[in-house]
């Protein structure tokens, strides 16, 4: 820029002098313009001296291949290669870590008393009590502990009219799993393998044990029972007073225990001298089950056909009451949640929790309950009323409400029959 200015004003100065010689400009104008142009030329020459080197001179001064940095300097190409090498190492490390975390299974741990269990699962045990945690049931490492309990270490008393068979405390209390875990509880008294026992859980707010609706199945050793739970707490198994006991069956287990391979599998047992309404009631239930399970097969026998119910294999549906059905006599009182008692020649119903139900004007009562025949390792459905009308009403109620019944986590229904109206009075 300064070189151009010098040339410009030098040219203007030459033209000015030429025009002055020709007499085209006065002396005064000539002198003023000459001084102005000469001043501009001097300033332009001064700026030219002070300007920094051009980019071309920088390239010439510093060779392209090497950029000085510090005393030694380094090659730009070599630096680039080193950067690429570091990036490659980081990528390989990340891929390897991801392979180890997502592809290789985490370790499965087995420990006594307590242990840290993570995503790989594991088993923690205390004697015969244990919890088995499958893989991916936990999303992080958790300290797990198991402790066997007895009558003195239970957090509260057993439920009324029960005794403790076994209990275990699982910690941390309230821990919820992504999938169910299996707990095993040792039993203080042996039970037949395959028998299902009701699993109870400790309710801290109520300070009492409540039923979970889950059945723990007795293992082949007869001294332990296992069940699946979704969270940790204190779990227990109790024996009901008055029976072996019933296996803790709930109506919510009805389909599991009576339906196999799409077939309803049971023998209906009727009294030899049963009223015709008992037969009609059994047919009504059979037809309803047949509509739910089209491939179901069921058949009926009379109680005197076999002197002992032990000779009949498989699940049973017993309809009637003890005086009209000999099979019911086998299970009455000692193996039932609710049972028939007789006083002054009249039957009435009693329950394990101390209730009594007697006929009165226009009101009668019936029992619908599930029990477990431990001797023959099978479920039994008992339906019977204080009179023929009550038994028929109970069969009708069961057949027309089976969708509701099989969702209930109860063992027995006490039905109140008032004329044509049937209602649930009590459950066990």
B/e letters for 339-376, b = 16+ CB within 10 Å, e = fewer, are bbeeeeeebebebbeeeebebeeebbbbbbbbbbbbeb
- Report pLDDT digits (tens) over 362-379: 899 999 998 887 777 788
- Report pLDDT digits (tens) over 29-46: 778 777 777 877 777 776
- Report pLDDT digits (tens) over 126-150: 888 899 999 999 999 999 999 999 8
Q: In whole angstroms, give the CA distance from residue 200 to residue 235.
A: 6
Mean pLDDT value of segment 120-124 = 91
Predicted pLDDT of residue 52: 58
Which region, left, alpha or beta, applies to residue 235 given φ > 0 means left and ψ of -120 to 50 means alpha?
Answer: beta
Predicted pLDDT of residue 234: 95
Q: Which has more confidence, 101 or 270?
A: 270
pTM to 2 decimal places: 0.47
Which region, left, alpha or beta, applies to residue 371 given φ > 0 means left and ψ of -120 to 50 means alpha?
Answer: beta
Q: Which has more confidence, 89 or 190?
A: 190
> Which of 254, 248, 214, 246 shows the shortest CA–CA distance to 407?
254
């Amino acid at each position: 820029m300064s070189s151009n200015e010098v040339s410009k004003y030098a040219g203007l100065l030459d033209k000015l002098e030429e025009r002055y010689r020709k007499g085209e400009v006065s002396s005064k104008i000539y002198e003023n313009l000459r001084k102005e142009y000469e001043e501009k030329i001097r300033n332009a020459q001064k700026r030219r001296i002070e300007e920094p080197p051009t980019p071309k001179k920088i390239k010439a001064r510093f060779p392209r291949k090497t950029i000085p940095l510090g005393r030694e300097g380094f090659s730009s190409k070599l630096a680039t290669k080193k950067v690429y090498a570091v990036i490659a190492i980081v990528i390989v490390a990340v891929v390897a870590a991801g392979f180890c975390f997502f592809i290789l299974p985490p370790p499965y741990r087995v420990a006594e008393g307590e242990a840290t269990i993570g995503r790989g699962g594991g088993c923690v045990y205390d004697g015969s009590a244990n919890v088995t945690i499958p893989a991916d049931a936990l999303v992080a490492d958790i300290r797990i502990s198991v402790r066997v309990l007895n009558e003195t270490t239970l957090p509260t008393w057993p439920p009324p009219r029960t005794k403790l068979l076994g209990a275990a405390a699982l910690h941390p209390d309230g821990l919820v799993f992504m999938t169910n875990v299996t707990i095993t509880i040792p039993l203080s008294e042996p039970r037949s393998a395959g028998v299902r026992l009701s699993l109870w859980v400790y309710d801290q707010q109520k300070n009492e044990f409540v039923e979970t609706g889950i059945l723990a199945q007795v293992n082949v050793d007869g001294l332990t029972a296992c069940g699946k739970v979704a969270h940790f707490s204190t779990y227990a198994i109790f024996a009901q007073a008055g029976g072996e006991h019933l296996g803790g069956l709930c109506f919510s287990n009805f389909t599991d225990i009576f339906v196999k391979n799409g077939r309803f599998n049971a023998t209906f047992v009727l009294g030899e001298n049963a009223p015709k309404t008992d037969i009609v009631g059994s047919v009504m239930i059979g037809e309803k089950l047949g509509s739910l399970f089209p491939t179901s097969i069921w058949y009926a026998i009379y109680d005197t056909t076999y002197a002992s119910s032990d000779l009949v294999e498989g699940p049973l549906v017993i309809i009637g009451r003890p005086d009209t059905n000999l099979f019911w006599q086998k299970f009455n009182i000692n193996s039932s949640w609710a049972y028939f008692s007789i006083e002054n020649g009249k039957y009435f119903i009693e329950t394990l929790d101390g209730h009594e139900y007697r006929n009165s004007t226009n009101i009668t009562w019936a029992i619908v309950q599930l029990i477990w025949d431990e001797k023959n390792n099978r479920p039994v459905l008992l339906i019977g009323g204080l009179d023929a009308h009550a038994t028929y009403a109970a069969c009708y109620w069961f057949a027309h409400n089976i969708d509701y019944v099989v969702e209930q986590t109860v063992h027995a229904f006490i039905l109140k029959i008032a004329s044509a109206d049937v209602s649930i009075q009590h459950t066990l």
